[in-house]
Amino acid sequence: MLATRRLPGRISLVSLAVLAACSTPPPPPPPTPPPPVVPTVRPVPPDQAAEGMGIPEKDADGKYLTANRGVTSNTALWHVRMALNVAALNCDKYGSTARLQYNQILAVHKPMLTAANAAVDRNYSVAYGNAGLGARERLNTVVYNFFALPPVIKHFCPVAVGVGAKVLATPSGQLLDQAPVWLAELEKPFQDFYAAYADYLRRLAEWQSRFGASVTVVVSPTPLPPPPVPPGDAPPRGWTPSVTASTVTRTATPPSTGSARPPVTPAAPNAATPPVTSPSVTPPSVARTVPDNSVPKLVVQPLPATGE
């Protein structure tokens, strides 16, 4: 009987312990962790280019201004030759194709390249007189430096090899027609680089406004000055402007009252008198004071033997 009475008491004690446990408040939640640290990486120039580098301004068509704009066909062909010369000198790290192509082009298309060089020389002589050759050499320096821009070489070399193959496969008589197209193709890697650099400057300015309050960054370097513009085609040698002599025709004057004077008729031209012409226009003599542009910058190597 005693055992039977103790059991309900024990059950009551267990119930009280359970109730006490249910009334205990839960522990507080753990503290919220801090937000992750996002690194603010400062933008860097494309293709490992220098910071603060100036790039050209754009023209009305949205293209960056270069010395290849507005050129004649002869000048375009000469600029293509200079671009391939730069490739021959700077692309050996990507193989010898550019150099071998350039030497073959000088041999296969020598007459056409010589004629184009003479035409460009004549353009400068007519436009600038005795200072023409110096003006051309200054432009040549700009063009060479343009195609030798270090950050773009790795993108330029494969394009130059592709254009060199097209030049070799094209008859000499068609070079002038294709030269502007090839020149635009050779310039495209540089246009793309300028666009990428302009985008880098935009992102750098945004980074500066958000994270770089204590850092001085030049986000808008001075643009490059516009390159010189090559002259247009000069007239061929022996050309003279046509001048038409004005013929004064006197109209008949009606006789006045009381006058017996007959009307004045125009005098017939004298067939023996030669027509009036202007003196022959010839460019001034120019003495070359700089190396001849027809001499290639790269020593020409002999063509490989074909076995014939």
Q: Is residue 72 a part of any domain in this protein?
A: yes
Is residue 3 one of the residues assigned to a domain? no
**Token output for 65:** 């201004």
pLDDT for 13 equals: 59
293 within a domain of the structure (yes/no): no
- Which pLDDT belongs to residue 19? 59
Note the Cα 35 to chain centre separation in Å: 46
* Calpha distance 77→136 (Å, rounded): 15
Domain count of the chain?
1
pTM of the model: 0.65
Parent domain of 189: 46-211
The answer as to whether 76 is a domain residue is: yes
How much is the pLDDT for 112?
97
User: Which tokens in the block code for residue 244?
Assistant: 């038409």
The list of the chain residues with pLDDT below 70 reads: 1-24, 37-39, 212-220, 236-308
User: What's residue 252's pLDDT?
Assistant: 41
In a domain, 12, yes or no: no
pLDDT digits (tens, 9 = 90+) for 119-177: 999 999 999 999 999 999 999 999 999 999 999 999 999 999 999 999 999 999 999 99
Amino acid 36: pLDDT: 73
Instruction: Determine the pLDDT at residue 307.
Output: 46
CA 127/CA 230 separation, integer angstroms: 10
CA distance 241 to 264: 34
In a domain, 114, yes or no: yes
188 occurs within a structural domain: yes
Assigned domain for 161 exists: yes
